[in-house]
Amino acid sequence: MRVSGKSIIVTGAGSGIGRGIAERLAEEGASLIVNDIDAQLGEQVAAAIRAAGGQAAFVAADVTQGAQMQALIAATLQLNSKLDAMINNAGWTHRNRPMLEVSEADFDKVYAVNMKSIYWSAIHAVPAMKKTGGGSFINIASTAGVRPRPGLTWYNGSKAAVIVTSKSMAAELGPDNIRVNCINPVFNPNTGLSAEFAGGPLDEARRGKFLSTIPLGRFSTALDVANAALYLASDEAAFISGVCIEVDGARCV
């Protein structure tokens, strides 16, 4: 068991990549706090983990709201007495379209869910981690943040902000024994956001366009990302901070 006894929050764990991370970490002995804004999805994931023999509780919160993030951390401390890892996975994108056609409301939501959530998680989780001698953050960014493509400009920028902010957090929080790392997944066609990234239903043409840029010849899966998160959350990564693991099959363009 690689994360046995660790208290870990996964935000946006009601579906997609977050669900995969929560399930994998629970298999390896973590006590999971499954967060999502969608209570029905989140409750289902927590119940599935428990049914498989793992430890999980669902705590609803909108991670863009400071008071709700505060309540999420407080509920975690009440249930598990500590917070070892905060996995900021909840994310959102505007639909793939020309940058000038993205509304202000969609721009604001992209930055609120992808970036402001990290601000709130730091504000409320860092003091809790300091009290117990340290912890770690794992922020789910994207290959979009390092190799942007047209059509997702504002989303791409928000993920670049996640990457640089994570490196800066790592530099600032190191003396408190708090590690901060990122994961950059490449396209996964099986999540709630996939069609938005692709700009419409995933027909053969859209799938082929993405696939042709991935030398290992397949898309990423939630399990690929979960295995990277498992490593970063474990003590095996005790000296790893400020890095961004690219889970992208060597995506070249």
Ligand X SMILES: NC(=O)c1ccc[n+]([C@@H]2O[C@H](COP(=O)([O-])OP(=O)(O)OC[C@H]3O[C@@H](n4cnc5c(N)ncnc54)[C@H](O)[C@@H]3O)[C@@H](O)[C@H]2O)c1
User: What minimum distance in Å lies between the beta carbon of 106 and ligand X?
Assistant: 13
CB-wise, 6 or 19, nearer to ligand X?
A: 19
Angstrom CA distances, 187 to 14, 86, 120, 135, stand at 19, 23, 27, 29
CB-wise, 29 or 189, nearer to ligand X?
A: 189
Sheet of 178-185: strand order equals 55-60, 31-36, 7-10, 85-88, 135-140, 178-185, 244-247
CB-wise, 12 or 54, nearer to ligand X?
A: 12
CB-wise, 137 or 197, nearer to ligand X?
A: 197
Instruction: Give catalytic status of residue 155 as yes or no.
Output: yes
User: Which of 180, 196, 182 is closest to 225 using CA atoms?
Assistant: 182
Distance CA 190, CA 113 (A): 20
CB-wise, 135 or 185, nearer to ligand X?
A: 185
Yes or no: say if 181 and 118 are a contact pair by the CB < 8 Å rule. Answer: no
User: Which of 143, 153, 146, 148 is closest to 98 using CA atoms?
Assistant: 153
User: What minimum distance in Å lies between the beta carbon of 61 and ligand X?
Assistant: 6
Residues facing residue 8 across a β-bridge: 32, 85
Task: Give the chain's radius of gyration (CA, Å).
Answer: 17
Residues engaged in binding ligand X (CB under 6 A): 11-12, 14-18, 36-38, 41, 62-64, 89-92, 113, 140, 142, 185, 187-188, 191-194, 197
Yes or no: say if 90 and 18 are a contact pair by the CB < 8 Å rule. Answer: yes
User: What minimum distance in Å lies between the beta carbon of 67 and ligand X?
Assistant: 13
DSSP β-ladder status, 135-140 and 178-185: parallel
User: What minimum distance in Å lies between the beta carbon of 175 and ligand X?
Assistant: 28
User: Which of 36, 137, 128 is closest to 91 using CA atoms?
Assistant: 36
DSSP β-ladder status, 85-88 and 7-10: parallel
User: What minimum distance in Å lies between the beta carbon of 27 and ligand X?
Assistant: 18
- What positions carry a catalytic annotation? 155
